[in-house]
Each structure stands twice: as C-alpha cells, then as structure tokens.
Amino acid sequence: MSSQSEIERYFAAGAEAVGDSAAMQAFVELRAALEAGAVRAAEPDATSPTGWRVHAWVKQGILLGFRLGQLEASGVELSFVDKDTFPPRRFVPEQGIRVAPGGSSVRSGAYVARGVVMMPPSYVNVGAYVDEGTMIDSHALVGSCAQVGKRVHLSAGAQVGGVLEPVNASPVILEDDVLVGGNCGVYEGTVVRRRAVLAAGTILTRGTPVYDVARGEVLRAEGERPLIIPEGAVVVPGARAVTKGKAAEWGLSVYTPVIVKYRDEKTELSAALEDLLR
C-alpha cells in the first residue's frame, strides 16, 4: 500500500506528478485501500476532543487521483464522462451488498461494508466509508469522505455532505445506529453521535445553532470544533424568533434545529421497523 509520505510528496508536486507512473501507482494503491476499508479519511480516536481523527493525506491522495486522471467516456444506454481514475464500482453477490436496480452508483475509492442496502437512485462518493447494515434509501447521498457507522438509516432524500477541500477540514460523521429522516441534510463536518435521531427535514450545518430544550443548552460549532449532536438526541426542525429590526416588527423567525428529547423506549419501537426492510 502507498505510504502517507508518498502521497504527500506527489500531491505537493502539483502538475509535475501528471504522467508519473509511480504517482499513479501510489494513488491506485490508496484507492484500493479505501475500498477495502483499510484506510479511512477519518477514524475513531478516543484522545481527540471530537472522538475522531482526520487524515488530511488521504484527501490529498483523492485529489491527486483527480489531477492524474483523464476524461473517459463510459456507459452503454446512458452516456457518462468522468476521470478514468474514479470509475463506478461493481459488486458481486459474495460481497453481501444489496444494490437494487434503478440508477444507484458507488464511486471507486469508497468503502461499502457487508449488509449495506442501497435503494435507487442513491449515490456514495469517493472516500466515503459506509459500515455494516446501513440502509441508503432512494435519492440519498453519501458525500465524499463522509463516515457512516453501522446500522444507520438514511431515509429518502437525505443528504450527507462531502468534503475534499480544504484538505484538513473534518468530514461529516454519522456514528452507529443513527436514524436520519427524509429530506434531512447534514453538512460541513457535523458529527452526529450514536443512536441520535434526526426527524424529517432537519438541516445541520456549522452556522446553525442547535437548541437543546431537554438539557437547557445551545450547541454550536466553535473554531475547528464541528457541530456535535449528542448521543441519543432526537432533533426536529424548529424556529427561533428574530428580535431586532423589521424582522421583529414583522414577527419573523428563522430556522433552527431543536433537540426535544433523548432516545427512549418509544423511539426504539418506532425505529424497530428498520430491521424488517433489510
């Protein structure tokens, strides 16, 4: 497998690396390691304040692949043109991954574990890590380098944002047993702790504070620390009154996510139907 120092060297070389067979070999080895789950753009780290450690060099390697790649036409009934360094992945039944027909795709350089189910159309981008038993429903997106844990459900229309640049930025992370409702969006390096539930239509970003009415706290991203949704939190779309200027005079409010409670037996029962779909 290519080393961190090799990837960093070829990435720093810029255009000089184009056409270099050794640089291409280093990238191909990294891509294979990503697909095997042996290397990740971010991995759990108990010593980190967020519980995760980001590997900037992995994202550099992915960007190197775009730099080295050439446009290539593909497809039979539908025509596609993309970098030849990132073709779509193909799966076989022995891998235990279910990709229902109808337009889903996994880009090379993404890890998809046994037991994952993808309903059409859905998409998993390069550098993403999708762990065992996760359901990716119709029109759901797993963005570049996003980290998705075990038994996560991404409901129809859910969007998990990607990140390649800046290379030191944190990717979106959904830990084990997270339930993401329909038409949710999780962006800008947000970390959603295990067993949290995002109700349909919830949007999480760095710039939007989350009001935890169950604990009386306001959660925000600060500096390099991303927005972190606590374990077992149940988050719903809410609104916050604007108290100044014309907006106050007109009685306007702005969107904000609200933690209304923490996961309990009733929430567990509502999530139990997920097992029947797998």
Q: In this predicted structure, what is the pLDDT of residue 189? A: 93
**C-beta of residue 171 within 8 angstroms of C-beta of residue 163:** yes
Residue in this structure with the two tokens 């596609």, named with its chain if needed: 80
- In a 3-state reduction of DSSP, which class is residue 186? strand
Domains, the chain, in order of start with CATH, read: 4-73+82-266 (2.160.10.10)
What percent of the chain has a predicted confidence (pLDDT) above 90? 87
pLDDT tier for residue 266 given thresholds of 50, 70 and 90: confident
Does residue 179 register a pLDDT over 70? yes
Q: Does the pLDDT of residue 163 top 80, yes or no?
A: yes
Q: Is the pLDDT of residue 1 over 70?
A: no
Higher-scoring residue by pLDDT: 53, 167: 53
Distance CA 144, CA 140 (A): 13
How would residue 75 be classed by pLDDT, with cut points 50, 70 and 90? confident
Four-CA torsion 90, 92, 93, 97, nearest 10 degrees: -30
Does the pLDDT value for residue 76 go beyond 90?
Answer: no
* Overall average pLDDT of the 236-259 stretch: 95
In contact, 162 and 134? CB cutoff 8 Å: no
Sequence-distant (6+) residues with CB within 8 A of 225 are 49, 50
pLDDT given at position 271: 62
Statement: residue 273 has pLDDT above 60: no
* pLDDT digit string, tens, across residues 91-126: 999 999 999 999 999 999 999 999 999 999 999 999
At residue 10 the predicted structure's pLDDT band, cuts being 50, 70 and 90, is very high
Contacts of 274 (CB under 8 A, 6+ apart): 135, 151, 153, 179
What is the chain's mean pLDDT, rounded? 93
Distance in Å from the first CA to the final CA of the chain: 34
Distance of CA 180 to the CA centre of its chain: 12
| Residue 36, amino acid | A
**AA letter at 248:** A
Q: Helices (DSSP H) in the chain: which residue ranges? A: 4-12, 21-36, 56-68, 245-249, 265-271
Tell me the pLDDT tens digit for each residue of 19-35.
999 999 999 999 999 99
CA–CA distance, 122 with 158 (Å, rounded to integer): 10
Q: What is the average pLDDT across 152-178? A: 93
Of 65, 269, 80, the C-alpha closest to 179 is 269
pLDDT at 166: 77
Instruction: Give the residue from 27, 36, 88 showing the smallest Cα distance to 59.
Output: 27
3-state secondary structure of 9: helix
User: What is the predicted pLDDT for the residue at 213?
Assistant: 97
**What is the rounded CA–CA span in Å between residue 157 and residue 160?**
10
